[in-house]
Structure 1
């Protein structure tokens, strides 16, 4: 990574702003000794701004950086002394967004244990499979998940027991942090059982500056993390927040009204969310009196027209990051990019390489669709079950199809395994989805391929209408026929009350096919 670029970006975003010399030195020593683990990031932030509010929790209120660190240290000591958790163990965390979740992640980081971030939307059989596959030593969970947690064949501690450990364990002297622990994020599991992906520890300031160069976060601001922290995007927001020494605002559940109220009440200048949350905010008609300067989304594709409609209502503050659990990030679309074309995924940030390859691994001509491959400093370290992943010359395949236009903008055309071959024609569902999303009656839509005895596959469209709206299947087909090729017309048109989605808003195709 270019040291000049890193220095300029850190200065531009306020990270090189002078502070008390002893605190600045302590901060830098922490990174040199302990690296860029989550615990080290919190310790460095505490060294620089010990009394600043690190997190504002719905139940606890403001918690300073010093208090957050001390509580995490006590939890680490308590887990070690009473449960024998040690370096190399795996601890499952089944939590919504709250300060206790942060403390548990940092405690695992201090001990050198792997923290497995568990999706709160898993079924009991899925959780049982995750506990077995990941060989969980312990599962820490919110009270509300006690019935679900019972499916995990390991020791389980709910948040009241965790709190008792924090309260009753003395703060250990000094700061000790093992560099061995990893954060394990589960893949979305839209096509099957979720896999554990080992997240790497940043080797320096390069990954941070790559993101904040394109997404203009400022030191000392206030960030509402609405995206689930168990997801890669929510966890990335947490890492950015600690590095930027911001105050993190957390709510256990996303609701449009409480989100807007929190943005105004706590004067949040950034909001990290997933696209379906923006859709719900737009449907509510609510808007903060002082909208944040940065609204950053990731995790799934932006529905057609949502970017423009959102910016028309909230202002030109929208940043869309395209990436994956495995690749971290590939590109970032700024408000300027999205104004130019709301369908673009933007451009690769500094230090990231994106190429489009054919099935043989050869670059395709500009504008042609191929498979997206990404290279950056934060490619995942592999699946915990050693499952195969697509790596070519240091570039990781995202599993998506896309193309790059003459201006260097990346477009994602759909999943490689979503491409439908119908009667010998290659059909991509996403253009059909984007077209149907423009119908005023349609609230949300998903288009997928389903088996067909005569043509091999055919398109099926699943639509959710706005309350009080009506639409006939033949009207939908005729509308698509008017704008797209004959083979893009969905033969099946089904109307649903809601689309099956993961906790991060991704549609689950296997559930649709079972309807």
Structure 2
């Protein structure tokens, strides 16, 4: 992300929970942060970490780093212990910006020599998140005082930095997706494509309700800033507050995940009808499959303004469909757009005909940067399609129809997507196996109307050991982020493994899905 040329006074701004920054102030603060980082020893090619909830400072810090040619790494502020230590160490960040109430958690796993900058939790953000704003500790520089002590950087770096976003991986550890720097002409193309597909004009009004540590909201913010949009951030998603913000700021465009649709539809009808949503012209969703009945209900409510895409942190959006296309092809996630392409291959890497299910491979659009994984180039190479240069898989399986529309049916690995968040069961199983009395553990996704999937844990205990579901959940909650705590906990006499030790997890998982008709 880079600080953009500010529009004229009185035009679009960046706001969140009572804070508002005009673009001139935003650009000034970003330039002061850049100079402060430079004097701290950060330079081109370096990385910093941002452990903050959504608020304008998150974007200012990211923009300030980019002015130096440095990369800001957004970190999931729910992370604890090993996950947090891994990201801060693996990213090689030299400075960490952190909300005051999260300081102890970060300091406990901070690599040696890394500097901390405290960011006071704004009152509106604290209220929205249901926390008590902690007073500054005084042990580290406080952001507002720190940036005020520096003049704005007067000579930005000549080149844009690469971007780094962490996403759950097949090892269970968050993996760093390193995307190459984008040339100015490619950035301009990307901004134009964003405006076209998100159906918003330069200077238009957008709302970002999802956490900026996720790839899609982060990229949305990058492009929205580059396009000079009026940006409203939500510290956390609340269904009625979402409607209030759309009405108050006459929001035209928003990007959501299907879980948000479910929560919006659960509001009483009189509450939903209380707000004027007529300004909405584009509601984009992605990150997880959307149950068809939920999407139908949203189109019935808002009109044909829904747009959907499919892709990943590594590829960006590759397929798109608008409401009319989806209604004509129910269940699709769209078809390849622009210069992006999709192929469905069998296990031998051969193309499959329409209707046949296989591994999905994506070829990103030409304006999407090349990527690799920090410290794991072999993993990047393993994603390539044999015989199809430039095509990569993100682990999903599905099929194309005769018109080229893509449909998802399953994931090749055991990853669970709950509320748009990728969760890998292996790390949860490892945490459970550390609990006294647990002999074996299997964690997997089961259907849920709101989140798409939630976690179930089936446990085999040592003879004579009696555990409760509450004790199991508490054990996981102490070690991992809250969204990784299993919703269902079941105790088994023996988990289904063969003589080689292979766990037949599907035998445990299938009954849940069969009871639900095999789909959400």
Q: Which range, TM-score by smaller chain?
A: 0.7 to 0.9
- Structure 1: how far apart are the matches of 2:507 and 2:266? 28
Consecutive aligned runs of 4 or more in structure 1 exceeding 6 Å deviation: 433-437, 447-451
When residues 346 and 138 of structure 1 are mapped into structure 2, their CA distance, relative to the original with a 3 A threshold, is same
Which of residues 270, 283, 304 is equivalent to 2:266?
A: 283
Equivalent runs, 1:40-439 vs 2, <5 Å: 42-44=3-5, 46=6, 48-49=7-8, 51-61=10-20, 63-81=21-39, 83-150=40-107, 151-153=109-111, 154-160=114-120, 161-172=142-153, 174-189=154-169, 192-203=172-183, 204=186, 205-285=188-268, 286-287=271-272, 288-291=275-278, 292-375=280-363, 376-377=365-366, 378-387=368-377, 388-389=379-380, 390-392=383-385, 393-418=389-414
SS in 1 for 2:361: strand
- Structure 2: how far apart are the matches of 1:168 and 1:318? 46
SS in 1 for 2:222: helix
CA contact (8 A) 1:220 1:247 kept: yes
When residues 230 and 434 of structure 1 are mapped into structure 2, their CA distance, relative to the original with a 3 A threshold, is closer
Q: Does 1:458 align with 2:445?
A: no
Corresponding residue pairs, total: 412
What do residues 26-63 of structure 1 show as CA deviations (whole Å, max 9, x unaligned)? xxxxxxxxxxxx21xx324x2x54552331232422x1
- Structure 2: how far apart are the matches of 1:331 and 1:122? 31
SS in 2 for 1:394: strand
When residues 444 and 185 of structure 1 are mapped into structure 2, their CA distance, relative to the original with a 3 A threshold, is closer
Q: Post-superposition shift, 1:404?
A: 0.5
SS in 2 for 1:181: coil
- Structure 1: how far apart are the matches of 2:66 and 2:509? 45
- Structure 2: how far apart are the matches of 1:434 and 1:305? 20
When residues 459 and 201 of structure 1 are mapped into structure 2, their CA distance, relative to the original with a 3 A threshold, is farther
Structure 1 unaligned regions, length at least 5? 1-37, 420-432, 463-472, 481-487, 490-506, 508-515
Q: Post-superposition shift, 1:183?
A: 1.9
Range 202-211 or range 401-410, more displaced: 202-211
CA contact (8 A) 1:224 1:248 kept: yes
SS in 2 for 1:360: coil
- Structure 1: how far apart are the matches of 2:509 and 2:451? 11
Q: Post-superposition shift, 1:65?
A: 1.3
RMSD: 3.0
Structure 2 unaligned regions, length at least 5? 121-141, 416-443, 459-494
Q: Post-superposition shift, 1:197?
A: 0.6
- Structure 2: how far apart are the matches of 1:479 and 1:163? 52
What do residues 437-471 of structure 1 show as CA deviations (whole Å, max 9, x unaligned)? 7xxxx555538999734794434459xxxxxxxxx
SS in 2 for 1:277: helix
CA contact (8 A) 1:76 1:107 kept: yes
When residues 113 and 190 of structure 1 are mapped into structure 2, their CA distance, relative to the original with a 3 A threshold, is same
What do residues 199-240 of structure 1 show as CA deviations (whole Å, max 9, x unaligned)? 233332333333433331112111111122221110121123
- Structure 2: how far apart are the matches of 1:381 and 1:187? 13
CA contact (8 A) 2:162 2:182 kept: no
- Structure 1: how far apart are the matches of 2:258 and 2:89? 32
SS in 2 for 1:152: coil
When residues 384 and 435 of structure 1 are mapped into structure 2, their CA distance, relative to the original with a 3 A threshold, is closer
- Structure 2: how far apart are the matches of 1:80 and 1:94? 20
CA contact (8 A) 2:446 2:453 kept: no
How does the TM-score come out when normalised to structure 2?
A: 0.73
Q: Post-superposition shift, 1:247?
A: 0.4
SS in 1 for 2:398: strand
SS in 1 for 2:344: strand
* Equivalent position of 2:420 in the other structure: none
- Structure 2: how far apart are the matches of 1:190 and 1:115? 24
Q: Post-superposition shift, 1:152?
A: 2.3
* Equivalent position of 1:423 in the other structure: none
- Structure 2: how far apart are the matches of 1:434 and 1:458? 10
SS in 2 for 1:86: coil
What do residues 107-136 of structure 1 show as CA deviations (whole Å, max 9, x unaligned)? 110111121111122122210111111122
